[in-house]
Amino acid sequence: MEQADLQRLFDSKIEQEIRIEPKDWMPEAYRKTNLRQISQHAHSEVVGMLPEANWITRAPSLRRKVALLAKVQDEAGHGLYLYSAAETLGTSRDEMMDDLNSGKAKYSSIFNYPTLNWADIGAIGWLVDGAAITNQVALCRTSYGPYARAMVRICKEESFHQRQGYEIMMSMAFGTPQQKQMAQDALNRWWWPALMMFGPNDSESTHSQQSLDWKIKRVSNDDLRQEFVDKSIPQVEYLGLTLPDPDLKWNEERGHYDFGSIDWEEFYRVVSGNGPCNKERLQARNKAHNEGAWVREAAMAFAEKRQTNVA
Amino acid sequence: MGDNGLILGQRLAEWCGHGPILEQDIALTNISLDLIGQARLWLSLAGQIEGQGRDEDKLAYFRDANEFRHLNLCEQPNGHWGTTILRQFLFDAFHLPLLEQISKFDDPQLASIAQKCVKEVRYHLRWSSEWAVRLGDGTEESHEKMQQALADVWPFAGEAILANAFDLELAEINPAYNIQMVNKAWWSTVNDVFNQANLEVPAANWAPQKGREGIHTERLGFILAEMQFLPRAYPDAQW
């Protein structure tokens, strides 16, 4: 087929909501955009293990310890599905990992914030996973098949994590005065970074329009953010906590909550590598990778030896 | 049994997010989850038998170091991946035959917990044996690292398989319990796996360890300081 015919076939699939599959022809920019987005998403799962793993050894009951271990393990599993989905676009997991470790690839900036008290584990499950789900439910309809299917699976687990996170927040907010204080402190620190997870305002977002046209992205950043704010506020009220936003109020006319403007300067500082924990997170990933090199080499050498013996 | 699972599970949990390969990070977390899950069963039962109202969390979070009864092997630091594998292997090779015996005890509660654990621990032993062989017989570097890690953890293994007064007492109550048989099974597994792994049994003798009597190494205080901090700092809180 001629290039123009291939392009027409691709366009008509997008138009008719037929998923694009790995062996289908696709425009190079479509492939690259998907690869960037899926690998960033995979990296986010893997780096996202670190702030939560920070509290596993200090979890305050054995039930919580086991739940948190299982949750962080789920994130590793999500990383695996997503790396597999990204590999269908022609880049190996090793290459993607190298890009992560060298700082070339991005991951969600939210994981560059520290977990400072136990309620942070609740706040991450509730708000960070909650924001992620808002995004990912929309991505279950994304146009690239392997990504959409990975999202369906991941969404199921994430909504379980979110309930678990909210349950931690409830036991903190309804607990002793010190626990309530920890819950409020966690909410104060995680609220704005959670809103930043939806990305720049639509007017500023560089990739948005093309991604919407290709149906990689299904709902705009600002619409998703609004949806998240609207559903979070009753949950905050139920906990008896307050949000660190004096401009927050119900807008009868719009049928939505109005909220204050995001500190985009902070957002871009964190994205460009200057967040509270960027260096620490990358160092931890590099350390695990470098110290694991001899293990991976030995496993390869062993597998080769056995193969030779069998042959 | 509960303290072994809890303390080793806590050590393994330190790896979460830092493993050499994502798949193995998941595998090690699984073992940690199993061991802590088992510890919850044993500790709950211990609290119930004691009858003083102590539940799994009271026992895990509100005992001091000298009240813990695990093998000192369990509290040894993770070291590198090979150290963790060998510590795990030496423990699993003891844990499995011990559980197999307990699963035949007359006491139905002990037996039923042990039966559940046996299924999990059979997998642990398979996993740690495979990794011991893979790294022992991998590259020259990995072989050397394993042999050296073995020298570090080996002296602690003796405590698992040498009888103390408690073993003799327990054998009187439970004829199904026989530490000599555990010892035999352990040596047979160890010899078989080391043979495949090309690893040599270290010349060093067992260190005299008395973890089961509550005398631990200096490591335990730090593990507990970290693990118990929150409930101890806020004893009235529900989490």
pLDDT at A311 over 70: no
Distance (Å) from the C-alpha of residue A43 to the closest C-alpha of chain B? 12
Structural domains present in chain B:
2-233 (1.20.1260.10)
* pTM, entire model: 0.96
DSSP string, A8-70: HHHHHHHHTTPPB-TTS---HHHHHHHHHHHHHHHHHHHHHHHHHHTTGGG-SSHHHHHHHHH
Please spell the DSSP secondary structure of B66-124, one letter per residue.
GG----GGGGS---SHHHHHHHHHHHHHHHHHHHHHHTT-S-HHHHHHHHHHHHHHHHH
Tens digit of pLDDT for each residue in B185-229? Answer: 999 999 999 999 999 999 878 999 999 999 999 999 999 999 999
Looking at residue B32, what is its pLDDT?
A: 98
User: How far A184 CA lies from chain B's nearest CA (Å)?
Assistant: 16
The confidence score (pLDDT) of residue A1 equals 79
ipTM of the complex in this document: 0.97
Which residue type sits at A97? M
pLDDT at A206: 73
For the segment B97-111, what is each residue's pLDDT rounded down to a tens digit? Answer: 999 999 999 999 999
**CA Rg value for chain B:** 18
Contact state of A298 with B14 under an 8 Å Cβ cutoff: no
Q: Considering only alpha carbons, which residue of chain B is nearest residue A287?
A: B18
The A residues from 193 to 222 touching B (CB cutoff 8 Å) are none
* Residue B202 Cα, gap to closest chain A Cα (Å): 22
Token pair, residue A257, equals: 């909550």
Mutation test of the interface with chain A: which of B25, B196, B223, choosing the one with the most A Cβ atoms within 10 A?
B25
> What was the pLDDT predicted at A189?
98
Residue written as token pair 């990204």: A86
- What is the tens place of the pLDDT at every residue in A129-173? 999 999 999 999 999 999 999 999 999 889 999 999 999 999 999
Decide: B98 and B78 in contact? Cβ < 8 Å: no
Q: Would you say B43 and B2 are in contact if contact means Cβ atoms under 8 Å apart?
A: yes
Helix (H) / strand (E) element for A250: namely strand A249-251
Residue tagged 């594998």 (tokens): B85
The answer, for A61 touching chain B at a CB cutoff of 8 Å, is yes
